[in-house]
Every structure is written in structure tokens, then in C-alpha cells.
């Protein structure tokens, strides 16, 4: 597990009318402060990545569809520097993944429908604190077309 990543099981309350999908509360261990919430869509087999925030903590949950979220630890002071980690997130595997600053991250739509990813970040978006790379940048040791062995479902 990459140092500093938090996985929080999330509650879903369902009845005949639909469901409530909890994401983040101000009394949750993973909550620090509110910056902004936004939703990102990704189509099947499409990739959004790589990007890295120098200050912002991300809190991802998938409310519709399925994604493969991939993280790469580029922090010089981290015990897990150089590690890659995959998460498969969906309504069935409904979890909050909290990603601290300094972690390259990206996600790919999997399954048959467009996925909706919610991010409740601890800071408002600031274009000056984000870095971007191609999804196929050779500096990150990950092949989006192959599975790796350290899949995390729980």
C-alpha cells in the first residue's frame, strides 16, 4: 500500500425508490477541510491521467460505472517511493480513496458505460499546483493495457 493512501468503505442506503450513497463527512477520519467537489466522467477504455497535485488532497468515489484508478508514488521522502497501486472502484466496490499531494494519479473507464467519478478535494482547483503527463509517459512504470498484481478491492 502506498504510504498515505486511505481507503474508506462507504455506506449505501437503498430502498424501492433508489439509494443514498454517502461519500465524505466533516467528522470522518479522512476529512481535513473542504475545497471543492466536482464530478468527472470517463468513457469505457478512455484514460484520464497522469496528473499530480503539489498541495491538494483528492478524495475519489465512483457513483456510476467502473474505473481503474492507478497511483504512482513520486515523493522523495516516502517509504513507498516508486510504487504503483491499482484500485477498481464502482457502485459495487464503493469506497473513498484519499490521495495525498505528490502522488501521480490517473483513471481509466472500464466496463460498458461512462463512469462518473466524484472528487471532494481539500482545496479549490489551482492550475499552478498541478502537473500533467501523458498516460503513456515512460517515467511512470505502468502499462494501462496490462493488469498488475497488487490489485486492491477492499
Name which residue leads in pLDDT, 151 or 13: 13
58: pLDDT strictly greater than 60: yes
- Mean pLDDT over residues 42-61, rounded? 97
Apex CA 136: angle with CA 135 and CA 137, to 5°?
100
Residues with Cβ within 8 Å of 89's Cβ and at least 6 positions away in sequence, in order, are 60, 61, 62, 66, 67, 69, 95, 97, 117
pLDDT tens digit sequence for 21-41? 999 999 998 899 999 999 999
User: Which pLDDT score is estimated for 118?
Assistant: 98
In three-state secondary structure terms, 145 is coil
Q: Is the pLDDT of residue 148 over 50?
A: no
Total Cβ atoms within 10 A of residue 74 = 17
Domain ranges of the chain: 6-152
> What is the pTM (predicted TM-score) of this model?
0.92
| CATH fourth-level superfamily of 6-152 | Jelly Rolls (2.60.120.10)
How high is the pLDDT of residue 149? Answer: 46
Mean pLDDT of 138-142: 96
Question: Which tens digit of pLDDT belongs to each residue from 110-137?
Answer: 999 999 999 999 999 999 999 999 999 9
Amino acid at each position: 500500500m502506498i504510504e498515505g493512501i486511505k481507503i474508506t468503505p462507504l455506506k449505501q442506503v437503498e430502498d424501492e425508490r433508489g439509494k443514498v450513497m454517502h461519500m465524505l463527512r466533516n467528522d470522518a477520519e479522512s476529512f481535513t477541510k473542504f475545497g471543492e467537489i466536482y464530478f468527472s466522467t470517463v468513457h469505457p477504455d478512455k484514460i484520464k491521467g497522469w496528473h499530480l497535485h503539489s498541495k491538494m488532497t483528492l478524495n475519489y468515489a465512483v457513483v456510476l460505472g467502473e474505473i481503474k484508478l492507478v497511483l504512482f508514488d513520486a515523493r522523495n521522502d516516502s517509504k513507498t517511493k516508486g510504487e504503483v497501486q491499482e484500485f477498481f472502484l464502482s457502485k459495487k466496490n464503493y469506497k473513498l480513496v484519499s490521495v495525498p499531494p505528490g502522488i501521480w494519479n490517473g483513471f481509466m473507464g472500464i466496463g460498458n458505460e461512462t463512469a462518473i467519478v466524484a472528487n471532494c478535494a481539500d482545496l479549490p482547483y489551482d492550475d499552478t499546483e498541478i502537473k500533467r503527463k501523458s498516460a503513456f509517459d515512460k517515467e511512470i512504470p505502468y502499462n494501462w493495457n496490462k493488469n498488475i498484481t497488487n490489485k486492491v478491492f477492499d
